[in-house]
Amino acid sequence: MNTLQAIFLGILQGLTEFLPVSSSGHLVVVPWALGWKSPGLVFDTTVHWGTLLAVVIFFWSDLVVLVKAAWDSLVRRSLDKPEARLAWGLVIGTVPAAVIGAAFSDWFEALFQKPVYVGAALLVTALILFLSEWFGRKERGFTSVGWLDAIIIGCAQAVAIMPGISRSGATISSGLARGLERDTAARYSFLLSVPIIFGAGLLKLKDLLATGVTGHEISILLWGFAAAAISGYLAIGFLMGFVRKRPLYVFAVYCAVIGASVLAYALLV
């Protein structure tokens, strides 16, 4: 991989991590379609750290409030404040993805080498987005998110470990299915991404340390990291503004078109 490819894939990761179109799916399909060598899990982890930085900066004030509320709830041994319940709900919602990701990591990694499965999963993402918009009531605000919401949205995040199933798409859609407003579902989805991206990044650091990288490879990783962070921040801002006014059907159509195209191309080559 050269520097330009790293920047391109970093931008792609930043945009597709938060737009409901599957970042992992795009990082499989795009290099495959262009005939590039797979960027590998070390690069994938690096650009995910970039998107983590983006969401932390964008939602810094929210994260500070939630961390303080969680600490206060421990000190007072009370969950009477909605911010505390939200904070611990995010912790609970992280557990399904952490458990499933650890238990089936080899199986998920194998899927990254199979674009045809990614194409099929993108079609599933399209269906999920369409159905959630069609049936979701979109009535409940941010402080109404409860324990059951956290578990259901967390399970959706676990399913989205599969490349082609959009993490933001699955979590936002499950929030809509639970009756959350669009901007509330999106905001909760972004906050829920923080612990799981952080945890996955820590686990993959050992791969980076075990394999070792040259100075040139470090430079490439840093370019990818920076590109993912900047594009990720812009993508968050765009989507938060978008969902306040518009439904997610356009992303459902996009996923359907890309998924069908990948399947058709995979079957022909």
CA 136, CA 180: separation in Å to the nearest integer?
Answer: 8
Indicate the pLDDT class of residue 220, thresholds 50, 70 and 90: confident
Element (H, E) at 105: helix 105-111
Mean pLDDT of 50-76: 94
Q: Kindly state the tokens that stand for 83.
A: 């911010």
pLDDT tens column, 17-45: 899 998 878 878 888 888 887 776 677 77
Query: Which of 100-109, 113-122, 245-254 is predicted with the least confidence, judged by mean pLDDT?
Result: 100-109
User: Which pLDDT does position 215 carry in this prediction?
Assistant: 62
pLDDT tens column, 160-187: 888 889 999 999 999 999 999 999 999 9
Backbone torsions φ then ψ of 22, nearest 5 degrees: 80, 100
